C-alpha cells in the first residue's frame, strides 16, 4: 500500500551543514513554489506523454538515506516546478496524478539541475520474495527509494505495488536478518504491460541509477539537459521466465572458511614469503619463487609464472573435512598456454599423480582431456578417498577470456557442480560426490606450466545461489 500523506519537519546539522526544512509528502497539502525562485536548485517542467504541460501536480525530491528529508512543490499553470534543495546526496524525484506517474533518481552536489519530467501511464510491480529457494520471506518491506511507493510481502512472500512509475527503477527489499541476509536492491524495468527484474545489486550501486543534468551548447544558447542513468543497460537480455522470483543475497561472511585478499606479503621465520588468511582458517599461502605482488582488480594480486612459481597451504587445518558443500570464488587472469592436451591446476586441494593422492577439488584449465576440444575452464570434485579427479565428476565451460580479469565462482552442493563467470552461470552438471571425507592433501595455487594472476580468493563450505553469485560479482567491483 502507498503512504502519500505524511508530513514531517526536520532541523538537522549534517556534515557541518545546517538544514532546516519542512518535509511534505507529495500529497494535496503541497503549496505552489515556482521555478523563478532564486533558491530553486532542482527545477524543471512536467509534461504528459504527448508533451502537454501538466499544472497542479505535486512533485517531490526525497533523500535516499534520510527519507524524512523531502523538498516539495506543485507545478504551476505552465507545468513548471522548483525545489529549493540544500542538502547534498541522492534523491528520488517523483510525481503522480491519477493513473500517471513519474520517477527518476539524481545525485545533487550543490549545482543547478533541470529536468523535463514525463508523466506516463503507470504500471504494476509484483513478485515473490524468498530468503532461500524453499523459504519465503514474509512481512518484508519493499519500496522504491526516495519515494512513497512502498509495500510489504504477505505470508506467501508475494508483493504487489500498483500505479508504479514506468522505466528502470531501483527496488529495495529490507533484510529481516542482516547477520545472514543483506538488503537486496533489484533493477526493475516497468512498462504498461510487464515487469522484469535484474539483480540483486549492492546498495552501494545506487549511483548507477542516477540521471545526470549536463549543459549542452555554449554561451547564452547553452541549456541543461538530463541524460539516462547507466544502469539502464542492466535490463538487456533479462530472462523473464523466472523474473519475478527474487531472493535475498547471503552475507559473504556466512559459511566463509578462508579468504586470501592477496593485498600484502608477510615473511615467515624461514625468510620465505606468504599471503595471510584474513579469516584465520589456514596458516596462509606459502609462496615459492614469488617476491612481490602485482596490481589486481582489488588492490594487489598474486602473479604466478610457470611451475616454479606457486603457493601452497601446508597448514590447511582440515577446513574441508566432512564438508557437504563448497564454494570457491576468485578473480583470475590467465595467459593462454601455447601447447595443447593438458590439465593445469589454478587452485586445488590435490596431489600431482601419486598413487597415494587423496584429491578433493581443482579449478583447472583444460584442453584435450575429458573430451574438451576447446580450451575450457573445469571444476573437478572428489570425496578425498580416490587417487585422482575424474572427468565424470567435473563441470566445464569454454574459456576465451584470456589476459583479462574474470570473476570465477565454482559451486558444489552435494548433488551438482556449477561454474559462473562474471556473475553468470555458464555450466552445471550432476555429480556423484555427496560428501568430502578426510584428506591430507594441501591446497595448491598454480604449480603448473601456466601463467596466471589470482586475487580475492574465498573458500566456504556453503553452496551459494545464483542471486548470491551475481550480488558478489557486483560487490567486488564487477561491471554492469
Nearest to 416 by CA among 395, 397, 396: 395
pLDDT at position 24: 37
DSSP β-bridge partners for residue 150 = 143
DSSP 286-310: EEES----EE-SSSEEEEEESTTSE
What's the pLDDT at 37? 44
Instruction: Please give the CATH topology (third level) of the domain spanning 256-475.
Output: Jelly Rolls (2.60.120)
Euclidean distance between CA atoms 319 and 459, whole angstroms: 9
Identify the pLDDT of residue 26. Answer: 53
Sequence spans of domains, the chain = 7-120, 123-208+227-247, 256-475
Q: What is the DSSP string of 79-112?
A: SEEEE---S-EEEEEEEEETTEEEEEEEEE-SS-
Are 102 and 96 contacting, i.e. CB atoms less than 8 angstroms apart?
yes
- DSSP string computed for 199-238: EEE-GGGGGGGEEEEEEESSGGG-EEEEE--GGGGGGTT-
The pLDDT score that the predictor gives to residue 8 is: 28
In terms of Cα–Cα distance, which of 432, 372, 368 is closest to 396? 372
Closest CA to 450 of 275, 285, 287, 333: 333
Question: Who contacts 237 (Cβ-Cβ below 8 Å, separation ≥6)?
Answer: none
Taking Cα atoms as reference points, which of 339, 313, 425, 338 lies closest to residue 379?
425
CB 96 within 8 A of CB 163: yes
Q: How many residues does the chain have?
A: 480
What was the pLDDT predicted at 206? 82
N-to-C CA span, the chain? 32
The two beta strands, 42-48 and 113-121, are parallel
- CA dihedral (81, 147, 105, 234) in degrees, to 10, reads -140
Residues of the chain predicted below pLDDT 70: 1-40, 212-243, 315, 480
The 3-state DSSP class for residue 194 equals coil
334, 450 contact by CB (below 8 A) = yes
CA–CA distances in Å: residue 219 to residues 30, 64, 215, 216: 36, 34, 10, 10
Q: Assess if CATH 2.170.270.10 describes domain 7-120.
A: no
Contact 175, 182 (CB under 8 A): yes
pTM above the 0.75 mark? yes
Distance CA 401, CA 390 (A): 25
pLDDT digits (tens, 9 = 90+) for 267-321: 887 778 999 999 988 989 999 999 899 999 989 999 999 999 999 997 677 889 9
| Tens digits of residue pLDDT in 106-135 | 889 888 888 889 999 999 999 999 999 899
For CA atoms 412, 410, 292, 351, give the dihedral sign. Answer: positive
Peptide bond into 479 cis (omega under 30): no
Q: Cβ(211)–Cβ(104) under 8 Å?
A: yes
Residue-level pLDDT at 190:
86
In angstroms, the CA 395 to CA 145 distance is 40
Q: Do domains 7-120 and 123-208+227-247 have the same CATH topology?
A: yes
Instruction: Give me the pLDDT at residue 314, please.
Output: 79
Task: Report pLDDT for 478.
Answer: 83
- For domain 123-208+227-247, the CATH architecture is Sandwich (2.60)
**Residue 156 DSSP label:** T
Amino acid at each position: 500500500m502507498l503512504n502519500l500523506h505524511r508530513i514531517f519537519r526536520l532541523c538537522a546539522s549534517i556534515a557541518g551543514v545546517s538544514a532546516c526544512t519542512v518535509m511534505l509528502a507529495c500529497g494535496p497539502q503541497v503549496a505552489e513554489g515556482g521555478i523563478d525562485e532564486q533558491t530553486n536548485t532542482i527545477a524543471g517542467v512536467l509534461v504528459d506523454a504527448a508533451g502537454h504541460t501538466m499544472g497542479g501536480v505535486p512533485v517531490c525530491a526525497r533523500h535516499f538515506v534520510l527519507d524524512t528529508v523531502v523538498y516539495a512543490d506543485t507545478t504551476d499553470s505552465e507545468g513548471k516546478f522548483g525545489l529549493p534543495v540544500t542538502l547534498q546526496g541522492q534523491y528520488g524525484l517523483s510525481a503522480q496524478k491519477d493513473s500517471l506517474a513519474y520517477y527518476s533518481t539524481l545525485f545533487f552536489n550543490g549545482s543547478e539541475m533541470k529536468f523535463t519530467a514525463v508523466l506516463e501511464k503507470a504500471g504494476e510491480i509484483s513478485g515473490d520474495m524468498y530468503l532461500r529457494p524453499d523459504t519465503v520471506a514474509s512481512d518484508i518491506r519493499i519500496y522504491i527509494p526516495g519515494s512513497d511507493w512502498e509495500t510489504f510481502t504477505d505470508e506467501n512472500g508475494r508483493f504487489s505495488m500498483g500505479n508504479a512509475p514506468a522505466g528502470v527503477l531501483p527496488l529495495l527489499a529490507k533484510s529481516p536478518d542482516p547477520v545472514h541476509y543483506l538488503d537486496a536492491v533489484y533493477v526493475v524495468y516497468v512498462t504498461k504491460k510487464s515487469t522484469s527484474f535484474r539483480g540483486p545489486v549492492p546498495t552501494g550501486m545506487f549511483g548507477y541509477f542516477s540521471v545526470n543534468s549536463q549543459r549542452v551548447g555554449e554561451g547564452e544558447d547553452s541549456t541543461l539537459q538530463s541524460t539516462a542513468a547507466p544502469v539502464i543497460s542492466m535490463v538487456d537480455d533479462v530472462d523473464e521466465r523466472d523474473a519475478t522470483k527474487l531472493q535475498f543475497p547471503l552475507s559473504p561472511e556466512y559459511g566463509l572458511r578462508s579468504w586470501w585478499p592477496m593485498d600484502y606479503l608477510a615473511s615467515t621465520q624461514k625468510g620465505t614469503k606468504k599471503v595471510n588468511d584474513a579469516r584465520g582458517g589456514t596458516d596462509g599461502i606459502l609462496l615459492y619463487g614469488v617476491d612481490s605482488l602485482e596490481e589486481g582488480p582489488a588492490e594487489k594480486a598474486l602473479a604466478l609464472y610457470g611451475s616454479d612459481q606457486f603457493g601452497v597451504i601446508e597448514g590447511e587445518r582440515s577446513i574441508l573435512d566432512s564438508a557437504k558443500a563448497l564454494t570457491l570464488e576468485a578473480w583470475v587472469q590467465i595467459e593462454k598456454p601455447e601447447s595443447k592436451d593438458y590439465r593445469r591446476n589454478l587452485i586445488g586441494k590435490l596431489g600431482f599423480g601419486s598413487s597415494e593422492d587423496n584429491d578433493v577439488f581443482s579449478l583447472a584449465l583444460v584442453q584435450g582431456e575429458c573430451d574438451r576440444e576447446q580450451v575450457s575452464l573445469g571444476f573437478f570434485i572428489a570425496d578425498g578417498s580416490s587417487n585422482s579427479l575424474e572427468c565424470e565428476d567435473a563441470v566445464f565451460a569454454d574459456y576465451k577470456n584470456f589476459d583479462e580479469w574474470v570473476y570465477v565462482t565454482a559451486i558444489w552442493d552435494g548433488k551438482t557442480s556449477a561454474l559462473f563467470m562474471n556473475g553468470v552461470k555458464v555450466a552445471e552438471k550432476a555429480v556423484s560426490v555427496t560428501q568430502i571425507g578426510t584428506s591430507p592433501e594441501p591446497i595448491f595455487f598454480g604449480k603448473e606450466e601456466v601463467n596466471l594472476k589470482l586475487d580475492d580468493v574465498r573458500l566456504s563450505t556453503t553452496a551459494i545461489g545464483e542471486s548470491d553469485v551475481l550480488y558478489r560479482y557486483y560487490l567486488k567491483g564487477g561491471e554492469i
